[in-house]
Homo-oligomer: A and B are copies of this chain.
Amino acid sequence: MAAELTAHELIARHRPTLDQALEAIRTRAYWSPHPEHPKAYGEHGSLDAAAGKAAFDALLGSRLDLGQPGTDDWVGGEVSPYGIDLGVTYPHADLDVLLPAMRAGQRAWRDAGPEARAVVCLEILKRISDRTHEFAHAVMHTSGQAYMMAFQAGGPHAQDRGLEAVAYAYVEQARTPDTAEWTKPQGKRDPLALTKQFTAVPRGIGLVIGCNTFPTWNGFPGLFASLATGNAVLVKPHPHAVLPLALTVRVAREVLAEAGFDANLVALAAERPGEGIAKTLATRPEIRIIDYTGSTAFGDWLEAHARQAQVYTEKAGVNTVVVESAGDYKGMLSNLAFSLSLYSGQMCTTPQNLLVPRDGIRTDQGHKSFDEFAADLAQAVDGLLGDDARANALLGAIVNPDVKSRLEAAAGLGEVALASREIANPDFPGAVVRTPVIVKLDGAKPDDEAAYMSECFGPVSFLVAVDSAADAVELLRRTVREKGAMTVGAYTTDDEVEQAVQEVCLEEAAQLSLNLTGGVYVNQTAAFSDFHGSGGNPAANAALCDGAFVANRFRVVEVRREA
């Protein structure tokens, strides 16, 4: 095959970046090759804001023909949470044609080896990076994230997570050498001598089941981890968030083909409304790896039924913040207010339960009663979202009617500390924009427990009155153990409480942010440094990203012969 892009060329282009990524996951210091600032784009072949917007606009109402074999129909129907009908249609696949076609190129992809696969993945990420503004619009108009967040979380941060997965996949494969000479002494006799070859072989086809809220951020790690370990990858987006992943598949197919590989190593599985092809796909024998982000119910179903596959799930949890005392009360309030508001709380990492002693808390601003804290937090959120333009930029839009219903119902669960209000979006009159509701509950009341011990996804938080710090710690433990948690936060100036919260997080395997008061938030993690989820509590069976996330996506086959 006459590849336009040789492995040699791609290695020269991307090996330095790969090496930096390998160093970053080893030191876990800050690093990213993907600029966060919108104005950083527009040179060296990347699209600036206007060009990205134009590219997105050109997609609206179009047929996104990926050139996939076995396309038997064109399907679509995405409506932006901002009210726009995207009108894009995608290939619908005859699986009995598409899946075999995806396997055809696997041998060459396997034989290319870990380094060539890694740099092809880096080229895909680079081209996605160049189109970050276009992707940002696609993420915004499927997830409901505000533009700046769609740009950053859906762009550089997602690309970072993809690159991180490539780095882990590379290092995991490279730890076994390609060949070894094995010579075992036999005393006076001749030594035994063998030549051994080791090859990383893929499991088969990886299936990525995307989510509505973070199609790229949650989709990239599994996609790149499977691809970099030699598997073909079929991407099954959430039916309301197809476009960002369809664009991803398009770029991947283009790069694969240019590098001399079969474009069908990456394909899209779009579905008709209500078709529910995830279950069908997940149990196909060709599918040997599944990456899933979404509801606990379907995640549990996958773990139980997709027995032929390695299944990596990120499901739901109940995230808790223990508020015991504060050394910087105002910093805490503003930090919490931001975390509760960002993307209308529609993040798997958004705190839901704030556990506060009913006798109040010690702070650098004096003692604050439970009700004072509630009022101050409400005021902080109000202040943050007081300006409509700023509110729109932070909140984005409500992603679906279920979230809106839960938000409306939440006000009836207890005393409302902060009521949700509607915000108009002048650019998108169809957008449903709401500020968070904060509801007071009593940790000791069984009726309240039913509320705070269930995940209430969306802009709903509960201030849960507890008897003491020890009570908070025990409720934290029970919540993580029974419901899982993607994140835990704690505010305390007391060493013993800090130790107790840490111990719960270590024992129940939850990621802990302590006393955040500045510009880092409990609901945000940075690739190459922070783990997203732990894989050790019910919220997720895997973490982004670690050795366990990649090590079982391939196997090593040894061929040995006498030397």
Contact = CB atoms under 8 A, between A and B. Distances in A.
Contact of A548 (B201, B515, B551, B559): B551
Contacts of A535: 552, 555
Contacts of A556: 531, 534, 543, 546
A117 interface: no
A509 to B, nearest CB: 5
Interface in A518-563: 518-520, 526, 529-531, 534-536, 543, 546-548, 551-552, 555-562
B502 A29 contact: no
A30 interface: yes
B557 A505 contact: yes
Interface stretch (A4-12, A176-184, A348-356): A176-184
Nearest to A560: B513
A94 interface: no
Given A29-B183, A519-B186, A520-B192, A558 B530 contact: yes
21 contacts: A28-B177, A28-B196, A29-B181, A176-B546, A180-B529, A184-B526, A192-B518, A192-B520, A196-B530, A201-B536, A509-B555, A511-B558, A515-B561, A516-B562, A520-B562, A530-B558, A530-B560, A534-B557, A535-B555, A543-B555, A543-B556
Contact of A180 (B29, B110, B507, B536): B29
Interface string A194-207: 10101101010000
Interface string A221-234: 00000000000000
B547 A172 contact: yes
A379 interface: no
A514 interface: yes
This protein's copies in its complex: 2
A2 interface: no
A512 B559 CA distance: 5
A515 B194 CA distance: 11
Contacts of A510: 557
A18 B25 CA distance: 23
Interface string A80-123: 00000000000000000000000000010010000000000000
A216 to B, nearest CB: 21
